[in-house]
Amino acid sequence: MSPTRERTRRGTELVLLVFSVAIAMAAYAAVGLAVDGVLPTGMLGYGGGLALLFGIAHVTLRRFAPYADPVLLPAVTVINGLGLAVIHRLDLAYADRAERLGRDIPSAAAPAQLTWTAVGVALFVVVLLLVRDHRILQRFTYTAMVAGLGLLLLPLLPLIGTTINGARIWIRVFGFSFQPGELAKLVLLVFFAGYLVVKRDVLALAGRRVLGVDLPRARDLGPVLVAWVASLGVLVFERDLGTSLLFFGVFIALLYVATERLSWLLIGVALFLSGAYVAWTLFGHVRERVDIWLHAFAPRNIDDDSYQLVQGLFGMGTGGLLGKGLGRGRPEIVPYAQTDFIVAAIGEELGLTGLMALLVVYAIAVQRGLRTSIAVRDSFGKLLAAGLAFSVALQVFVVVGGVTRLIPLTGLTLPFLSYGGSSLVANYALVALLLRISNAARAPAPRRPAPPPAPLADSKTVVVERPT
């Protein structure tokens, strides 16, 4: 790559990064003006802190991955910055309501989220420094499988496992709560990619042809059945519908990418539907989720089980096309607005326009990830980049679909936007891996040394024939 083109790449990312931080500061200022009528007193410190954090990320990226995608980090920055502003806005609303009701003012979540952002950026830097070549991760394929399953099983341990809101997906150590499933997502993606690189030729073999579709051989269904049973195990024992759907969906997507067989998608959909029916038949918490989805406005649900969903729908309806403005709505009346239902808060105060703009930024991030998957030269990198991008896309679809009542609620959080340290830190590691693969995809191929020129024939050479 020419020096001029390299400088252009760095300049593009820096300009986009400054613009992203400016959007975050503008959102923070808008909250202060709407709630208090003046600019927030800590606005300069807030903006300077964000600029320092993402400036460190930018410098590290350009130093250790100079050819990485210049758009992905700014896209993540603007989502994270907007999430911080909305969480701060909800903190002010919760404090005001507690003061009016004579209750204790709850602790603010925005400072904690900013701290977790710093931890996430630090992990981002560490991943870029330690993983100099993504292909090294393929050596740890089965180690990643063991580590991923171990992380998923941690919440089931009696001493450290904790049940929150009906889901046993948390561990509590030294006073801190953490979701190990967020890290399990990353290491299992490494396992999926490494496993499918080795087994894809076998899994791509066709068996019988039914209705124009080449079905795989029966003996090759083992990996899909294992993933299906494991996802049902997460649903049954941890009562975590979102993680179950995420793992199985990403595995089927990677299986399709590896084999290019439509039959695997059809089998995956069939297993998902059958598993969903079995879960709906046997488990009460799944039936409750489906009932809330189908009968949200029923009198038996609206005052209790579906109250959160209905209030979120009313809030987004109140926002209309352009929204009521940051700080001018009432998103705090939606339970868990900072985590599960932050989409409803954005829909109310920024309207359909703001919500669609947010989804476009997510789509850009996913598109850059898939573009990396297409461009990278090695098969492991292709599958890993596709898995990382698919996991973000599926998570956004599941969360937004649940809040808008397109599908049942799952309890997942939006990447980089919702309050939660586990998700934020793990997703920064995800982006670091994606940028490392992007650097390998965009780096110019090493030039091979030119072969030495062939010796020229000497015109004075005398050829002596042997005597017969």
> In which band, very low, low, confident or very high, does the pLDDT at 84 lie, cut at 50, 70 and 90?
very high
Inform me whether the pLDDT recorded for 456 exceeds 60: no
Residue 249 or residue 353, greater confidence: 353
pLDDT at 286: 79
pLDDT at 6: 60
> In which band, very low, low, confident or very high, does the pLDDT at 175 lie, cut at 50, 70 and 90?
low
DSSP state of 151: H
Residue with tokens 């003012």: 105
Contact 114, 419 (CB under 8 A): no
Inform me whether the pLDDT recorded for 468 exceeds 60: no
Residue with tokens 């965009």: 442
Inform me whether the pLDDT recorded for 354 exceeds 70: yes
Collapsed DSSP state (helix, strand, coil) of residue 213: strand
Interatomic CA distance for residues 435 and 369, integer angstroms: 8
Residue with tokens 């923070």: 28
% the chain with pLDDT above 90: 38
Q: Residue 345 corresponds to which tokens in the numbers above?
A: 């808060």
pLDDT at 404: 92
Q: Which residues pair with 206 in a beta bridge?
A: 216
Inform me whether the pLDDT recorded for 228 exceeds 70: no
Contact 427, 415 (CB under 8 A): yes
Inform me whether the pLDDT recorded for 5 exceeds 80: no
> In which band, very low, low, confident or very high, does the pLDDT at 72 lie, cut at 50, 70 and 90?
very high
Interatomic CA distance for residues 42 and 108, integer angstroms: 15
Range from 24-38, 197-211, 239-253 carrying the lowest mean pLDDT: 197-211
What one-character-per-residue DSSP string does 87-143 give?
HHHHHHHHHHHHHHTTPPPPPPSHHHHHHHHHHHHHHHHHHHHH-S-GGGGGGGHHH
Burial 62-99 (b: 16+ CB within 10 A, else e): bebbebbbbbbbbbbbbbbbbbbbbbbbbbbbbeeeee
pLDDT at 270: 84
pLDDT at 278: 82
Contact 405, 296 (CB under 8 A): yes
Residue with tokens 């009701």: 101
> In which band, very low, low, confident or very high, does the pLDDT at 20 lie, cut at 50, 70 and 90?
very high
Amino acid at 264: W
Q: Residue 356 corresponds to which tokens in the numbers above?
A: 């669609």
Inform me whether the pLDDT recorded for 2 exceeds 60: no
Amino acid at 28: Y
> In which band, very low, low, confident or very high, does the pLDDT at 449 lie, cut at 50, 70 and 90?
low
256-268 pLDDT, tens digit per residue, is 888 877 877 888 8
pLDDT at 161: 73
Inform me whether the pLDDT recorded for 39 exceeds 90: no
DSSP H or E run through 178 = strand 176-178
What one-character-per-residue DSSP string does 425-442 give?
HHHHHHHHHHHHHHHHHH
Collapsed DSSP state (helix, strand, coil) of residue 217: coil
% the chain with pLDDT above 70: 84
Interatomic CA distance for residues 357 and 165, integer angstroms: 31
Write 147-154 long-range contacts (CB < 8 A, 24+). 147/184, 147/187, 148/184, 148/187, 148/188, 148/191, 149/184, 149/230, 151/180, 151/181, 151/183, 151/184, 151/187, 152/180, 152/181, 152/184, 152/234, 152/238, 152/243, 154/180
All structural domains of the chain with their residue ranges:
134-442
Inform me whether the pLDDT recorded for 360 exceeds 80: yes
106-131 pLDDT, tens digit per residue, is 888 999 999 999 999 999 999 999 99
Contact 250, 387 (CB under 8 A): yes
375-384 pLDDT, tens digit per residue, is 998 999 999 9
311-352 pLDDT, tens digit per residue, is 999 999 999 999 898 888 888 888 888 888 899 999 999 999
Residue 199 CB contacts under 8 Å (≥ 6 apart), including other chains: 223
Range from 23-32, 36-45, 220-229 carrying the lowest mean pLDDT: 220-229
Interatomic CA distance for residues 342 and 85, integer angstroms: 11
Amino acid at 347: G
Query: Which residue from 351, 350, 364 is spatially nearest to 76, judged by alpha carbons?
Result: 364
Sheet order of strands, 161-164 included? 161-164, 167-173, 176-178
Inform me whether the pLDDT recorded for 211 exceeds 70: no
Query: Which residue from 267, 280, 284, 348 is spatially nearest to 312, judged by alpha carbons?
Result: 348
Contact 408, 340 (CB under 8 A): no
Inform me whether the pLDDT recorded for 392 exceeds 90: yes
pLDDT at 205: 64
- Tell me how far the alpha carbon of residue 444 is from its chain's centroid: 28
User: What is the residue-averaged pLDDT of the chain?
Assistant: 84
> In which band, very low, low, confident or very high, does the pLDDT at 46 lie, cut at 50, 70 and 90?
confident
Inform me whether the pLDDT recorded for 208 exceeds 80: no
Total length of the chain? 468
Inform me whether the pLDDT recorded for 431 exceeds 90: yes
pLDDT at 4: 63
Q: Residue 138 corresponds to which tokens in the numbers above?
A: 């393929």
Contact 328, 34 (CB under 8 A): yes
